[in-house]
Amino acid sequence: MRIIKLALAMALVAGLAACQKTTAGAGNVDGARIAAADTNGEWVSYGKGYSEQRFSPLDKVNATNVGQLGLAWYAQFDTDRGQEATPLEVDGVLYTTTAWSKVFAFDAVTGKLLWSYDPKVDGKKGFDACCDVVNRGVAVWKGKVYVGTMDARLVALDAKDGHVVWQTQVADAAKPYTITQAPRVVKDKVLIGESGAEYGGRGYLSAYDAASGKLVWRFYTVPNPNGADGAVSDKVLKDKALATWPEGSWKMVGGGGTVWDAIAYDPALDLIYFGTDNGTPWNQQVRSGGKGDNLFISSIIAVKADTGEYVWHYQVNPGESWDYSAVQPFILADLTIAGKPTKVLMQAPKNGFFYVLDRTNGKLLSAKAFVPVTWASSIDIATGRPVENPSARYKSDIDLQMPAPLGAHNWHPMSFSPKTGLVYIPAQSMPFAYQADPKFIYKPGGWNLGVSMLANAGPMTPEQTKALAANIKGWLIAWDPVNQKPVWTVNRPYFWNAGVLSTGGNLVFQGAAEGQFYAYDAANGKQLWAYATGNGVIAAPMTYEIKGEQYVALMVGSGGGGQVSAPSLLPARPRLPGRLLVFKLGGAAKAPPFKIVEPPPLNLTGVKTTGDKTHGYVVFNDNCQVCHGANATGSWLPDLKRSILITTPDDFNSVVIQGVRAHNGMVSFSKFLKPQDVEDVRAFLISQAKGEPLPGAAVAAKAASGAK
C-alpha cells in the first residue's frame, strides 16, 4: 500500500542473469518429493510434507547455539493486513504469499526478489472475508506455483518467472466466497476449498488437474436442497447426509461446511483427509429446527485421492451450533498406542478437545480437553459423540461459554515432534456470550448466525470485566497425544498467538501476539532465544538448509480473525507493513523499526448529531463489530472513535452508504442499513469518542433477561 521495499528495489537492480540461473528447472516438486519431506530436511508443501507434521530434522541450529541466531535478511511487503503464510523452499527459492493473495519468490540465501505476482483482487472482496484478507501460502508442483485468491480463483503460475499459466474460478466471486487456504497437490491434482460459512456458503473440496486446470472431482460437504450436483459426493449425501438436515433456514442460506484449512494425505492408504467448517446459520435451532446431526459440517472426511469417493467421516460436533469447526490443521503420525503401532490423525479443533483418530477407518481412539471447556464434559469413546452440557444449546437467555467462536485453537499450525512425541499447540481461551437471535432474518451477502451479537457488547460491571479478562488467555501447550495430557505449557499475555515449528535441534519456535519470536527447549519449554519483530506474529515459522547453513523463516504481521474481531484484547498497535524475516546463526542484518504515526486527537467541538445513540449502539453491534470491535473498541480496521469521518453526516455517509472506500473492503451498507440507522451509529460513535458511558445498559439488561 505505501512502501516499496528496499530489498525489492535492490533485487530489480541486481538484474535477470542471476535470477535465471537460480530458477532454471524451478519448482521441480512431485509426490515422491513431498512424501520424502515428511522425514527429510526439505519444506516443499504447506505443512512441510503430506503428513503436515511441521517437524524438521535439521539440527545445525539447536538448543546449544540458538542464542546466536540472528537476522540473515528480510523483505517488507506492500500490505499492512494479516500475514498468515508459511513459505516453501524449493531448490534455493523461497515462495510465500501475503495478504490480498499476492505471491513472492525470493532467493532463499540472499533475499533477492526473483519475481512477484499480484492477482489484483477487487478490494470490495475484503467485505466477504470474515477474518481478514489473509492467505496461508502456495503449493509447488512440476514447475508451477499455485495460489488460491481472495476472489475465489485458483491460479497456476510458472515457477520460473511467475507468469500466469492457467486460472479457474473455484467459487462464484459474485457470492461471498473467498479463499485463504494454501492449496495442496496430490497425484497431479491441486486440492482447494473455500471460505464463507458465516455468510451462507456451501462447502466443497475441488481437485483440479495440475497441468491444465480442468476440474477432476468435487466433493460437496452438505446436501444440495435442490437435488444432486452431478458430483462424486451425490451418493453419500443422499445415503447418509440428507436425512440429518430436517426443515430449517439452511435450505435458503446455504448450510455451511466450507473447507478452508486442513488437508492432509497418506500416500500408503491413498486417502485425502479434509476438515469442514461450522453450519450456517451457527444456531442449529434456526438452521435445522434444532434437529439432526447435519452431516458433514464440523467433520473430518476421508476420500480416495483419484476419484474423491467417500471412504469415512468423523463428525467432531454433531448438530454444531457454536462455530466449532473441524477445519483446524491435521497432523498424521504413527504413534504407539497400547503397545501397538497405530496410524493416527490428530486434531485440536475449535471446541477445545484434542482428538486422536485411527486414520485407516475414522474410529475415535481418544479425546481430552486441552483448555477449559464448558460446552461438554467429555467425548464418549464408544459412540464418538460429545457429552454435551445441558445448557450448551443456548436459547433466549445469554449463556457464557468456552471456547468462543475464535476457538481454543484456530488455523495457526501446530507441530508434532517424533523426537519428543509431543504436539505443540498454539492454544487460547476466551468466553463468548451465546444467545439465540429471536428475529433471525436471512441477509444475503451478510453474516447469518442466528446468534445475537449484541450479547457480547453489553456494558459490564468492573467485576464482570475482571472475570472476563481472567478467562482470556493464550498458551503454547506441549501435549502428549498418547496419554492425552500436557507436558509443559508457556503462558502468553494475549490470545491469538502464532503457528509453531519443532526441529531436530530440540527446539520449538513460536511467535506471539505481543511481537516476540521465541525459541524453546522442545523437551521442557525453557525459553532459549527471543527476537522482537516490532509487529504481532500469527504465521508459523519454517526452516530449510542450503549449502550446510540452516535458515528459519517467518512471516510477520498481525491480523486474521482475532485481530479483526477482538482488537481491544490485543496490543494496541496500528496496522504495520508485513515482513518476511529469515534467520541464521550469526546473522547480522538489521530490520529498521516500524514508523508508528499516532493520529491526532479528534476535535469534536461543535460536532452535532440528530441520531439516537442507544439505537446506534444496537445497530453498530449487530452490523459493524465483527470488523470494528464490540462497542467500537477496535483500533485495527480503523478506530472509528478517532476517525474524522464521524464529524459530519456527509463524510460518514460517503463511506457507509456511498461506499467510497469499497476498494479497502469497506463496501456500502445501503442494503443492510436505513439512513436513520447510519446517523444513529454516528451518534453512538461520537458518544464513544467523547468517552461517554455505553448507552446500551438498558438494552443489554433487557436482552440479558431474555425479553423480546
Binding site for Ca ion (CB under 5 A): 197, 277-278, 323
Q: Where are the beta strands (DSSP E) in 422-515?
A: 422-429, 432-434, 473-480, 485-492, 500-503, 507-511
| Beta partners for residue 168, in sequence order | 154
- Least distance (Å) between residue 220 CB and Ca ion: 17
Q: From residue 366, how far is each of 81, 165, 481 by CA, in Å?
A: 38, 45, 9
- Least distance (Å) between residue 131 CB and Ca ion: 8
- Least distance (Å) between residue 281 CB and Ca ion: 11
- Least distance (Å) between residue 125 CB and Ca ion: 18
Question: On the CB side of 139, how many CA atoms lie within 13 Å of its CA?
Answer: 29
- Least distance (Å) between residue 319 CB and Ca ion: 15
Q: Tell me the angle at which helices 649-656 and 675-689 cross, rounded to the nearest 10 degrees.
A: 120
Query: Which is closer to Ca ion, CB of 278 or CB of 366?
Result: 278
Query: Which is closer to Ca ion, CB of 277 or CB of 677?
Result: 277
Query: Which is closer to Ca ion, CB of 316 or CB of 681?
Result: 316
Q: How far apart are CA 112 and CA 134, in angstroms?
A: 24
Instruction: Examine the residue annotation and report whether 323 is marked as an active-site residue of this protein.
Output: yes
- Least distance (Å) between residue 405 CB and Ca ion: 7
Q: Is 214 exposed, middle or buried (0-12, 13-18, 19+ CB in 10 A)?
A: exposed
Query: Which is closer to Ca ion, CB of 200 or CB of 481?
Result: 200
Contact in structure between 476 and 371 (CB atoms under 8 Å): no
Q: Cα torsion for 360, 365, 370, 375, to the nearest 10°? A: 100
- Least distance (Å) between residue 322 CB and Ca ion: 10
Q: Which helix (H) or strand (E) holds 457?
A: none
For 344, phi then psi, to 5°, come to -115, 160
Question: On the CB side of 312, how many CA atoms lie within 13 Å of its CA?
Answer: 12
Closest-CA residue to 415 (of 137, 82, 56):
56
Query: Which is closer to Ca ion, CB of 52 or CB of 323?
Result: 323
Amino acid (one-letter) located at 568: S
Active-site residue (options: 78, 80, 277, 323): 323
| DSSP-based helix, strand, coil % in the chain, nearest 5 | 20, 30, 50
Centre a 10 Å sphere on the Cβ of residue 159 and count the other Cβ atoms it contains: 28
Query: Which is closer to Ca ion, CB of 204 or CB of 531?
Result: 204
Q: Which helix (H) or strand (E) holds 13?
A: helix 6-14
Q: Cell triple for residue 698? A: 438498558
Q: How far apart are CA 233 and CA 102, in angstroms?
A: 32
Q: Cell triple for residue 440? A: 433471525
Query: Which is closer to Ca ion, CB of 119 or CB of 255?
Result: 255
Active site residues: 323
